[in-house]
Amino acid sequence: MEDVLVLGTIGRERVHSFGTTSTVVPGGTAHHAIEAILRAGVTRPLLVSIRGNDLSEAEIVDQLSAPVDTFALHQRTDLPSFYWEAEYKESFEESTTIALENRLLDGFMPDWNALGKRFPSIRYCYLAAFDPNVQISCARYFGNTFVVSETLEYWIERDRQGVLDLARESNGFVVTEREFRALWGFAARPDMPLTHVADVLQQCSLDFLIITFADRGSRVFQSEGTFIMPALACKTVDSTGAGNAFSGGIVGYLAQHGVYERARLPDAVSFGTGLASLQVRDFGNRALRMASHSEIEDLRQEARNGIQWLNLGG
């Protein structure tokens, strides 16, 4: 029974990483996130996305480790699928886009009413980076679910207010330090006091805000407290999709344990951190998809042991 909805892009990507170039591999924000959600043990998450005339449904699902529900996977026959090609030159924190094909996103708006009637058991919505208007419409329709959202600088540059509105419609919001600064106008750092983001939490009525700092880990903010999650040491080949694996892992872990409870967030973030460390070890989602359950559990426990607890002012 589907209880997790995943909205995001599905397509292909090619990455140039410090002298090594991948083949064209499956990609997109929903692709990386839904694999993480599957690795959490979620059964048949509902994939809400759109494909073009060059990508079959079978090609999409064959690259995932378990079945997904593709009822809401739309197709446009007049345009190619989402495609992104980029290069990492100086660090894995920032890429340079070489080619981007996302015209099929224009005008895309799922029939949320039809989906709500067909899938009444949805409890969690994971809104991967996408047009904020579509993300907001999903969050509002499924207002009784627990909504976790993220974005990209690409969308902030085009509709900053829309992304801010999205944060207000979400229960959990995950951003990079660069995205945080673009949205709220001041720099984030791993050790900054909770008081610096208290207004953001309050204005957006967020259960949690997570700011990621690439290989420096992440910082989790809640009105009740805050903690630092260090990144796990590993050899990085390609950081594409690491944020989706991180956030998707959090949502998948929470969904597997029922309704949201704040006490489970540290374990969920530990799980997401473990999956992100797998995601960066190869191109595409190969490392994440091929990892054993025991390897994933070992990484979750390693991440959990590294949490740095801070007091309310820290």
* 112 found inside a domain: yes
Residue 1 has pLDDT above 70, yes or no: no
**pLDDT band with cut points at 50, 70 and 90 for residue 201:** very high
* 155 found inside a domain: yes
Q: What are phi and psi of 87, to 5 degrees?
A: -135, 135
Strand order in the sheet with 225-229: 73-75, 46-51, 4-7, 124-127, 146-150, 172-176, 208-212, 218-222, 225-229, 308-310
pLDDT tens across 66-125, in order? 999 999 999 999 999 999 999 988 788 788 899 999 999 999 999 999 999 999 999 999
Collapsing DSSP to helix, strand or coil, 114 comes out as helix
The pLDDT of residue 2 is 65
Provide the CATH number for the domain around residue 113.
Answer: 3.40.1190.20
Residue 314 has pLDDT above 70, yes or no: no
* 93 found inside a domain: no
| DSSP H/E element including 242 | helix 242-256
Residue 136 has pLDDT above 60, yes or no: yes
* 235 found inside a domain: yes
Mean pLDDT of 213-226: 92
For residue 149, the enclosing domain spans 4-8+30-74+106-310
* 221 found inside a domain: yes
CA angle 148, 67, 303 (to 5 degrees): 50
How far is the C-alpha of 211 from the C-alpha of 233, rounded, in Å?
A: 19
Q: Are strands 46-51 and 25-27 parallel, antiparallel or unpaired?
A: unpaired
Mean pLDDT of 205-223: 94
**Nearest residue to 8 (alpha-carbon basis) of 62, 85, 73, 88:** 73
The pLDDT of residue 192 is 87
How far is the C-alpha of 185 from the C-alpha of 65, rounded, in Å?
A: 40
pLDDT tens across 242-296, in order? 999 999 999 999 999 989 999 999 999 999 999 999 999 999 889 999 999 999 9
Residue 313 has pLDDT above 90, yes or no: no
The pLDDT of residue 50 is 98
The pLDDT of residue 303 is 97
Instruction: Specify the pTM.
Output: 0.95
* 16 found inside a domain: no
The pLDDT of residue 90 is 77
* 19 found inside a domain: no
How far is the C-alpha of 25 from the C-alpha of 38, rounded, in Å?
A: 19
Tokens representing residue 53 in the block: 């005339």
Average pLDDT, the chain: 94
- Quote the number of domains for the chain: 1
* 163 found inside a domain: yes
How far is the C-alpha of 291 from the C-alpha of 275, rounded, in Å?
A: 9
